Amino acid sequence: MTPQLDAQWSEVDLDLIHGFISASYWAQGISRALMRRAMEGSLNYVLRDEKGALIGYARVITDRATFAYLCDVFVLEAWRGRGLGDHLIGQVMARPELQGLRRFTLFTRDAHTLYARHGFKPLATPDRGMEVVRPDVYLQTSETST
């Protein structure tokens, strides 16, 4: 079976994606409404099995010209161990709308080896990077109840 990458998502997909992402270490507690808003402003890639069911997901925030940020990548636990994460990232990185970008970034806690196979490396100049981090923002927003 070769899973297919789909750029379209449905409400059923959103339920599953939100369920996974809201329990993740990187976006724990994100509301469904906020996840929807994030997806609507991004390129979304849904990995589907032969019956069309969602088995993996990746989101890319980009201007489609110079910069992209890969995030919210996952493969459902029942499908892990089959090389599907590698397949998903390979398919995303090959997308025509993501070619020719000067910078493509991501953050990961534990999948460095996976992303390295697709050309990602530690930041070349980490001293130039800065960030504002609000780890509890999803718990403080009015959108958490939706």
CATH number at residue 54: 3.40.630.30
Q: Which of 58-62, 134-138, 142-146 has the highest mean pLDDT?
A: 58-62
Task: Flag whether pLDDT at 102 surpasses 50.
Answer: yes
pLDDT band at 145 (very low <50, low <70, confident <90, very high): very low
Which residues are CB-neighbours of 29 under 8 A, at least 6 positions away?
22, 138, 139, 144
Q: Tell me what pLDDT residue 144 has.
A: 45
Q: Are 55 and 47 in contact (CB under 8 A)?
A: yes
State mean pLDDT over 120-143. 87
Distance set, CA 115 to CA 1, 47, 91 (Å): 23, 17, 13
Block residue for tokens 């990995």: 47
| Predicted structure pTM score | 0.92
| Residue 43 lies in domain | 4-145
Number of compact structural domains in the chain: 1
State mean pLDDT over 76-91. 97
